[in-house]
Amino acid sequence: METIVSGKYVELAYKIFIVDKEGDTMIFEFKEDKPDRFVFGNEPGMLESFTSHLEGLKAGDEFDFILSPIEAFGERDPNMVAVLDKSLFVIDGEFDSERVYEGAFVPMMTAEGMRIEGIVKEITSDKVTVDFNHQLAGETVKYTGKVLNVREATDEEKNPPHHCGGCGGGDCGGCGEGGCDNKEGCEGHHGDGDCCHKDGNQDGGCCHKAK
């Protein structure tokens, strides 16, 4: 039976929990009918602490492990919170209140051309405060689930025509409006959200780290 090693196509069903003194709180789920799908060892930036618990497993095996903030998405960095001019969010002379509001995920572009995403924390008369920390920064995270499928990856799967890395099926983004707080489950890495990428600034993220 095939085991998880580099170059294998893998499908997983699992739940992600935040672990604190109050107990375990589920924040995201990949369901069996919409599993997390990726080529092991071919996903840029995937957390080594995540993959190390999967390597060697086979279809039918279950997993259950906890990652500390340092092992997972790092501690929160106050320098990742930006106070931006409100004029940056003006379209046709009007502030884009439909898409930019407290709690909204907003995509932006750095001076180097990198796509980043943050959550709007505060809006004043002339400023918008956006937090670009990963949504799970500072959190202890638990993964529990099952390996559904392991097989040799095809050439097309190893070299996808488009990759955002994510936990949804479509554009790059934050898994809808909820990011990693979407409990309904998403469709796999090759869309929006990211539940195993550390770089939440790019596509949401829940098991991948910054490049």
For residue 28, is it within any domain? yes
139 and 197 assigned to the same domain: yes
- Under the banding of pLDDT at 50, 70 and 90, the label for residue 60 is very high
Q: Residue 121: give its domain's CATH number.
A: 2.40.10.330
Domain holding 191, by residue range, is 8-73+135-203
Instruction: Give the separation between CA 13 and CA 189, rounded to whole angstroms.
Output: 12
199 and 140 assigned to the same domain: yes
Nearest to 137 by CA among 90, 74, 210, 206: 74
Q: Can you give the pLDDT at residue 73?
A: 92
Gyration radius (Cα) of the chain, Å = 18
How many structural domains is the chain composed of? 2
67 and 140 assigned to the same domain: yes
pTM of the predicted protein model: 0.71
For residue 1, is it within any domain? no
68 and 86 assigned to the same domain: no
Q: Which two tokens stand for residue 171?
A: 């554009």
Does the structure show a pLDDT above 50 at 164? no
142 and 179 assigned to the same domain: yes
For residue 92, is it within any domain? yes
Q: Out of 38-47, 79-88, 105-114, 167-176, give the one with best mean pLDDT.
A: 79-88
- Under the banding of pLDDT at 50, 70 and 90, the label for residue 163 is very low
For residue 172, is it within any domain? yes
Q: Which two tokens stand for residue 38?
A: 């990726």
63 and 88 assigned to the same domain: no
142 and 112 assigned to the same domain: no
69 and 37 assigned to the same domain: yes
165 and 152 assigned to the same domain: yes
Does the structure show a pLDDT above 80 at 22? yes
- Mean pLDDT over 145-173 rounds to 69
DSSP string, 7-66: TEEEEEEEEEEEEETTEEEEEEEEBTTB-EEEETT-STTB-HHHHTTTTT-BTT-EEEEE
